Amino acid sequence: QVQLVESGGGSVQAGGSLRLSCAASGDTYGSSCVGWFRQAPGKEREWVASIYTDGFSTYYADSVKGRFTISRDSAKNTVYLQMNSLKPEDTAMYYCAAEGFCTVVAGRSRAADFRYWGQGTQVNVSS
């Protein structure tokens, strides 16, 4: 079992930055791959980025590439999502998710690829 707790959400103006954190505990193997997803009201959950245990294998959705950076501090069992140049369309509930391995097909992952989920942290970007 893996427990995930997100933090760092908030409200920011367009062009601003936020850093989300995802603290993992429990089965280390089960959190070898950590991903960030987001879900806006009335929309499907959208994959944002993933990172593997080595900290170097990272994957991004095209919509955030060049603006968001995923990283991890293995000593703290924490994964971060640095979000820069935020846009109003980035407004959503952001969730972190974990699985034993990263599944990336055609440059993207799916919610079904992850077993463990956090409760989410809200990000609001105003224009």
State the Cα–Cα distance between residues 15 and 1, nearest whole angstrom: 37
CB count within 10 Å of CB 17 equals 11
* pLDDT number for residue 54: 79
CB 49 within 8 A of CB 81: yes
DSSP-derived 3-state class of residue 6 = strand
- Local confidence pLDDT in tens for the 127 residues of the chain: 899 999 999 999 999 999 999 999 988 777 789 999 999 999 999 999 999 987 788 999 999 999 999 999 988 999 999 999 999 999 999 999 999 888 989 888 999 999 999 999 999 999 9
Reading the block at residue 71, the tokens are 């990283």
CB 118 within 8 A of CB 97: yes
- Written as one string, the DSSP assignment of 62-89 is TTTTTTEEEEEEGGGTEEEEEE-S--GG
